[in-house]
């Protein structure tokens, strides 16, 4: 595709807005739509056209990117729900739809089949790297789909990060589920390690530096360990999204006859965190859930209930 390829991006939130900026900086003509219009106004000054409706956003677009919250929301925007019309029937024939949301494998496969019948290609390309990766344009992008479809959208995806073709449609989501399983469990391990250091009278800052470069080092240790030490839980990735992805992992594992012990524990901890007021915090705020669980008496207010997004 040429540099004047028309790109439509639907879902310009924490991740989608910086992704749109990077696509614009790469020289593509890009439009954005978001259900909450105020979140996309700032993009007008950064080379991104803002559309009032999803239909205006996708009109004549060559590449249509979805960065929405769930598979159900992607279904609704593409194909409609409860009597509403989705955008799929008005997509340009030959367009490629790229779903960068984390959704179930079977949902991605169903999308691909329905869009193929309309003459459109499909790539499932979920991402890892969080808000920082989206801002810096170095997301890890796990792409599933036909080689031809991926080749057509590769220049656009490359404006947002490093792309790896992991297999046919659905394989990108499978890779993302594996990623989220590792992230969810590792955040719990990092939180418990820092709690152990702090309760044992150690210097968390010094230990955080000391473990970098060793076997325990990871992006989670560096970035989320830092968040925990600073008590900075402004969301770069929401806890409720992490829970949604761990639910997806659980359901897929059950369908395959697998018992994910660590994943199940992480999932239950995130569920309690979301139930007690932490759903809109960063997923690294699991640290607070683990700290609070040891000292909150039954039927007493949970500390997370008093937290705000800026805490």
Please identify every residue annotated as catalytic.
176
Buried b (16+ CB within 10 A) or exposed e, 221-234: bebbbebbbeeebe
CA distance 202 to 294: 19
3 state DSSP class of 288? helix
* Token pair recorded at residue 90: 């008005």
* Token pair recorded at residue 229: 């030490």
CA distance 123 to 153: 9
Burial (CB count within 10 angstroms: exposed 0-12, middle 13-18, buried 19+), residue 93: exposed
Do strands 121-124 and 139-145 pair parallel, antiparallel, or not at all (unpaired)? antiparallel
73: nearest Cα among 90, 57, 86: 86
Residues 6+ positions from 282 with CB-CB distance below 8 Å: 224, 227, 232, 233, 234, 235, 236, 237, 238, 239
Radius of gyration of the chain (CA): 20
281: nearest Cα among 221, 228, 245, 229: 228
Buried b (16+ CB within 10 A) or exposed e, 250-285: bebbeeeeeebeebeebbebbbbbbebbbbebbbbb
């Amino acid at each position: 595709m040429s540099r004047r390829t028309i790109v439509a991006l639907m879902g310009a939130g924490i991740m989608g807005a910086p992704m749109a900026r990077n696509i614009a900086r790469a020289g593509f003509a890009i439009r954005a739509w978001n259900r909450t219009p105020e979140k996309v106004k700032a993009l007008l000054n950064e080379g991104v056209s803002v559309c009032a409706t999803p239909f205006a956003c996708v009109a004549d677009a060559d590449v249509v990117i979805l960065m929405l919250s769930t598979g159900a929301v992607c279904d609704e925007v593409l194909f409609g729900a409860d009597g509403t019309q989705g955008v799929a029937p008005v997509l340009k024939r030959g367009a490629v739809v790229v779903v960068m949301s984390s959704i179930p494998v079977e949902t991605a496969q169903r999308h691909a089949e329905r869009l193929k019948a309309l003459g459109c290609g499909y790539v499932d390309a979920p991402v890892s790297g969080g808000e920082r990766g989206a801002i810096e344009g170095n997301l890890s992008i796990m792409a599933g789909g036909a080689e031809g479809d991926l080749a057509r959208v590769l220049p656009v995806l490359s404006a947002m990060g490093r792309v790896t073709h992991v297999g046919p449609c659905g394989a990108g989501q499978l890779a993302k589920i594996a990623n989220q399983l590792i992230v969810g469990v590792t955040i719990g391990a990092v939180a418990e390690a820092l709690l152990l250091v702090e309760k044992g009278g150690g210097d968390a800052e010094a230990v955080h530096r000391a473990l970098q470069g060793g076997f325990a080092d990871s992006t989670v240790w560096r970035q989320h360990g830092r968040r925990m030490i600073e008590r900075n839980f402004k969301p770069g990735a929401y806890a409720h999204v992490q829970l949604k992805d761990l639910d997806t992992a659980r359901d897929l594992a059950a369908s395959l006859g697998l018992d994910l012990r660590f994943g199940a524990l992480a999932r239950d901890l995130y569920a309690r965190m979301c139930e007690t007021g932490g759903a809109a915090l960063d997923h690294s705020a699991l640290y607070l859930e683990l700290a609070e669980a040891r000292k909150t008496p039954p039927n007493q207010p949970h500390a997370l209930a008093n937290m705000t997004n800026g805490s």
